[in-house]
């Protein structure tokens, strides 16, 4: 009886032999070549182990010598190549890093001081509960996270001149805040009317450090202040009927507070004037101007949007008798405005303008002759890259832009350079449910990051709590 032929071809020697299968590569090897195959696998494993060990050594080396970071080496090499010029530039870059770090620390310290004041107030009043404790604990966790994870920086190199220029670039954190989708009515919400628990087509809004709400109660021709957790407002300007007397307002659209003297400054829309109220004493600051939005920067300069001249002008404190300085819009080259409404001015004095009839937000850097579209600008519509008559605009410390997309009944968050934005609250159709808006106007944050929306045609102010 002939012997069964169980021989197959060896992958290595190509001879017909009794072979054994390698489970890893599914190939057949004779006994001798299988041993050689295993030997090669062992050698490859040792190579991989060596690579891992080398990588581990690199990690340990960088941990022990952080000054050998690639970016630091680039700065050092650039300093050598450019000698005295680069030394001066390197010094400037280090100062910027120190300044940015100090600014971050100052911001955190300010938040910490605010928490300390709140704790001292609780101790003084001897009135506290678990809700207070949870809030204080969450706030401490948040500022601790900010201290432990500061913003990253990187190096940006330019090569336009005879030497290779470098500068420090601050990278924004990628953290995106979120808010509860059901708002809480914190002012108004009792129907259209002129009682102290009502508002009528409110427009602009301001939240102070104590979470008191100042509202441009437009159709009631007054400014009302709602104390924190109050059930009704208090008239702090106007309220004497529609008119043009010094103690009257006519459809006010925006309100800000001058921190120098704690006076209230109002865009008195139909009276075409900006007026100041200080302890029931009135003074017209600027007359014959089609004012809509107001803003004040850290230096006390006053910014006013003119919806007829399609421009924004700036005035210095105490110099309101001149024409001001054109800082955005106008009839020159660049991004022309068409019915600008609300504005926001950041720490660098860049101006973000809601360009109403152009359905976009335009940013004008300090001293710029031309603006840049940072939200919308793709025609009127409800897609994520479109706006429909934007109103309120605010920018957070990370550079995220928040827009009251009034006719889409939603609040959008946009990032400069990104094509599309995202809906943060609203966007559920026009309505008066807690997750709906009806022509939102002004926007504001309080010092905890909660979002306040002037829900204009619902005659209420909605607060959307931040999700920690």
What's residue 158's pLDDT? 61
C-alpha span between 22 and 110 (Å, rounded)? 66
What's residue 138's pLDDT? 74
pLDDT of 73-87, one tens digit each? 777 777 777 777 767
What's residue 152's pLDDT? 52
User: Sign (positive/negative) of CA torsion 77, 83, 86, 90?
Assistant: positive
What's residue 173's pLDDT? 47
Superfamily classification of domain 178-467: TolB, C-terminal domain (2.120.10.30)
Other Cβ atoms within 10 Å of 468 Cβ, number: 13
* pTM: predicted TM-score of the whole model, two decimal places: 0.65
What stretches in the chain show pLDDT beneath 70? 1-5, 67-70, 86, 127-128, 130-131, 149-175, 332-334
Residue 392 has φ and ψ, to the nearest 5°, of -60, 145
Residue 90 has φ and ψ, to the nearest 5°, of -60, -40
C-alpha span between 8 and 27 (Å, rounded)? 11
Tokens of 28: 């057949």
Nearest to 17 by CA among 31, 7, 25: 7
C-alpha span between 171 and 180 (Å, rounded)? 27
Which stretches within 126-209 are classed as H helix?
130-148
Other Cβ atoms within 10 Å of 114 Cβ, number: 15
What's residue 332's pLDDT? 62
């Amino acid at each position: 009886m002939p012997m069964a032929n169980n021989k197959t071809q060896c992958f290595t020697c190509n001879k017909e032999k009794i072979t054994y299968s390698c489970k890893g590569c599914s190939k057949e090897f004779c006994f001798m070549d299988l041993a050689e195959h295993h030997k090669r696998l062992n050698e490859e494993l040792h190579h991989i182990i060596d690579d891992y060990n080398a990588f581990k050594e690199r990690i340990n080396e960088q941990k022990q010598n952080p000054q050998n970071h690639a970016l630091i080496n680039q700065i050092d090499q650039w300093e050598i190549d450019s000698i005295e010029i680069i030394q001066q530039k390197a010094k400037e870059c280090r100062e910027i890093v120190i300044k940015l770090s100090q600014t971050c620390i100052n911001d955190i310290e300010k938040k910490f001081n605010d928490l300390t004041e709140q704790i001292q107030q609780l101790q003084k009043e001897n009135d506290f509960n678990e809700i207070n404790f949870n809030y204080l604990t969450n706030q401490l966790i948040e500022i601790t996270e900010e201290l432990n994870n500061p913003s990253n920086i990187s190096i940006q190199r330019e090569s336009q001149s005879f030497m290779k220029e470098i500068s420090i670039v601050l990278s924004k954190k990628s953290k995106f805040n979120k808010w509860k989708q059901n708002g809480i009515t914190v002012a108004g919400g009792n129907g259209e009317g002129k009682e102290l628990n009502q508002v009528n087509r409110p427009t602009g809004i301001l939240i102070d450090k104590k979470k008191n709400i100042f509202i441009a109660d437009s159709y009631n021709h007054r400014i009302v202040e709602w104390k924190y957790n109050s059930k009704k407002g208090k008239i702090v300007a106007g309220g004497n009927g529609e008119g043009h007397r010094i103690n009257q307002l006519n459809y006010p659209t925006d309100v800000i507070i001058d921190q120098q003297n704690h006076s209230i400054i109002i865009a008195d829309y139909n009276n075409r004037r900006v007026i100041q109220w200080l302890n029931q004493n009135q003074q017209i600051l600027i007359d014959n101007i089609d004012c809509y939005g107001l803003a004040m920067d850290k230096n006390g300069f006053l910014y006013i949007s003119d919806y007829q001249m399609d421009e924004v002008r700036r005035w210095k404190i105490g110099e309101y008798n001149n024409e001001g300085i054109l800082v955005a819009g106008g009839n020159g080259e660049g991004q022309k405005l068409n019915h600008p409404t609300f504005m926001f001015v950041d720490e660098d004095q860049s101006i973000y303008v809601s360009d109403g009839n152009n359905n976009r937000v335009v940013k004008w850097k300090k001293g710029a002759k031309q603006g840049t579209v940072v939200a919308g600008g793709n025609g009127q519509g409800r897609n994520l890259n479109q706006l429909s008559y934007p109103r309120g605009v605010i920018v957070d410390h990370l550079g995220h832009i928040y827009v009251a997309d009034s006719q889409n009944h939603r609040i959008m968050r946009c990032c400069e350079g990104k094509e599309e934005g995202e809906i943060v609250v609203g966007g559920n159709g026009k309505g008066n449910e807690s997750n709906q808006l009806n022509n939102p106007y002004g926007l504001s944050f309080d010092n905890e990051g909660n979002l306040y929306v002037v829900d204009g045609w619902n005659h209420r102010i909605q607060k959307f709590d931040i999700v920690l």
